[in-house]
Structure 1
């Protein structure tokens, strides 16, 4: 099978953000995405951003245009949020985001009326119906198809860092799970989700797709749901490992780190270097540790098995990539990584709210609604 990789400008940025729709009075999820999307369809048609549906009718996804910088893509997302609020605010619908809703139940949710979603649920059954998860997807343009799989493999060593920074699903259906990112472990139950297979080059990726399509596992490359994957249609590498971010500045920070990592790997390939990779068993262990412990995880950082606290290795990585971030013009967004490290990730803030309120998960939802509302339409928070 030949899979063409689209032409894409190097290190351009695209962002997708899955958002919950909640009742303003109860905090529970509401299945109102179809009416919200329909109300916006005409007015948003000419815009760079899009607002679309997802698997469940309690979710809308906002997507940026292709940005030369993180700031451009984030501004698109901010504009999409502002457009959404023209419909959701009068309707009493609140917007929020995290990897999971603190107390909503899967059996109360409705599946969007699309063939691809009904097919997914028919195949995956209970696990598919339990996909009450929200995430972000960050696309970074890659200028040479021969770089794609080496970059995917190298990024796998940094998935625990991105997962820990974004971890925001400590609660599931009313229970405290003990995990910083319960979403990470739920999502990988889908047949083509989870960690990428360590494929050496594009030809190996094409062979993988040929096997999967020929045996009926998937229809095409869009059904590869790896934590980091090639996106041939767009000419990008797409990072999908992150929980849904609770605020726009945090989303921007993670996008900036992703862009800087990909550009750094691209430069090293240009210089003739072989990119460092971890053994698949180390990659798998790191994912579990980041899901369980978040920013308190101790991760394996090289092929010899050396281990470091993920906070420390993140600090080293941020320092190493600082010049790259400056050259990519994402310094203000990149600086937000230090804020997450110093003030805590979303899972930590949610747990603190729950403990302060005697375990009241409605208070956690209110907290998430406040955090989301504080950021998305205010570019000054991002230094813009």
Structure 2
């Protein structure tokens, strides 16, 4: 089976941000996407070009077009979020984002009335019904299918960096899970989700997809939800590892990190280097450590089993990438890594709010709504 890959400009950027619709009075996730998306749909169009349905009716996904810089992606997202927020406000709903909702029960959520989602629930049953989770996905352009699989393999080194920086799901249905990112563990329970297989090249990717499709495991490539995956139609590498982020600043920091890392790997391939392929069991262990301890994790960094604090690894990575960030005009956004490490990732801020309010998780919802509206203070 041949899968055409549509080449992209190097380091072109696209971002997807899954937003929660929250009743301002009850602070619960509340269905409203069908009505909101119908209201903002341009006349004569089937749907809004940059605001989409997701699995749950309490979710609206906003997406950018193809952007050249993080600043362009920021402006694109901000415009669409403003449109969605205004329509939500008219219905007594607010917008917020985190990897999970602190108090709402997935069993109470309505599935979006689209055949794709109805079929997903029919196939996966309980695994799909409990997907009350929210993420940020970043696409970075790649010029050739020859480069895609080596870049995907090498990017798995940075799974703990992206996950810890974005971790924002300590709570599940009103309880503290003890994890920084419970979303990552919920999502990887799906049969085609989780860490990507370390493949030898595009031909093996095509062979794998051929097996899944011919055996009726999936209908299309888009049903493989790896933490990092090739996207043949867009001509990108897509990073799906991140929890949902509460603020546009944090989304842009993640986008800058993704763009800079992929740009570095792409240039190393141009210079004739062979990109490193980390051991699968090390990648799996590092992902767990980031999901459990977030920024306080210690991660394995080489074949000699050297362990380093993830906070320091993130700061060192930001320093290494800063010359690339300046070339890509995203130095300010990449510097957000230092601010997040100093100020606290979302999972830490949520726990601090809960502790300050005697464990009242509705106050955590309020803080997430406030962060979405005003950014970090």
Band of TM-score, shorter chain: over 0.9
Partners of 1:136 and 1:245 within 8 A in 2:
yes
CA distance in 1, matches of 2:46, 2:75: 16
CA distance in 2, matches of 1:369, 1:314: 27
2:24 matched to which residue of 1?
24
- Length-normalised TM-score, structure 2: 0.97
Partners of 1:161 and 1:310 within 8 A in 2:
yes
CA distance in 1, matches of 2:87, 2:336: 30
1:353 matched to which residue of 2?
353
* Secondary structure at 2:111 match in 1: coil
Partners of 1:12 and 1:141 within 8 A in 2:
yes
What are the superposed Cα offsets for residues 335-372 of structure 1, whole Å, 9 maximum, x if unpaired?
11111011010000000000110000000000000000
CA distance in 2, matches of 1:46, 1:8: 26
CA distance in 1, matches of 2:55, 2:90: 25
- Length-normalised TM-score, structure 1: 0.96
1:266 Cα deviation (Å)? 0.4
1:270 Cα deviation (Å)? 0.6
CA distance in 1, matches of 2:305, 2:172: 33
1:304 Cα deviation (Å)? 3.0
CA distance in 1, matches of 2:95, 2:29: 10
Runs of 4+ in 1 over 4 A off after TM superposition: 43-49
1:305 Cα deviation (Å)? 2.1
What is the 5 A alignment of 1:77-92? 77-92=77-92
Distance 1:367 1:44, change over 3 A: farther
2:265 matched to which residue of 1?
265
1:300 Cα deviation (Å)? 1.1
Partners of 2:135 and 2:240 within 8 A in 1:
yes
Partners of 2:8 and 2:142 within 8 A in 1:
yes
What is the 5 A alignment of 1:203-214? 203-214=203-214
1:153 matched to which residue of 2?
153
CA distance in 2, matches of 1:317, 1:272: 22
Partners of 1:18 and 1:97 within 8 A in 2:
yes
2:195 matched to which residue of 1?
195
CA distance in 2, matches of 1:252, 1:164: 15
Partners of 1:48 and 1:64 within 8 A in 2:
no
* Secondary structure at 1:359 match in 2: coil
Partners of 1:20 and 1:95 within 8 A in 2:
yes
Partners of 1:103 and 1:173 within 8 A in 2:
yes
CA distance in 2, matches of 1:359, 1:84: 31
1:296 Cα deviation (Å)? 0.5
1:49 Cα deviation (Å)? 5.7
2:60 matched to which residue of 1?
60
1:39 matched to which residue of 2?
39
Distance 1:83 1:233, change over 3 A: same
What is the 5 A alignment of 1:52-201? 52-201=52-201
1:331 matched to which residue of 2?
331
* Secondary structure at 1:242 match in 2: strand
CA distance in 2, matches of 1:85, 1:60: 10
| Bigger mean CA offset, 287-296 vs 367-376 | 367-376
Q: Which runs of 5+ in 1 are unaligned?
A: none
Alpha-carbon RMSD: 1.6
* Secondary structure at 2:204 match in 1: helix
Partners of 2:40 and 2:48 within 8 A in 1:
no
Partners of 2:106 and 2:129 within 8 A in 1:
yes
CA distance in 2, matches of 1:94, 1:226: 30
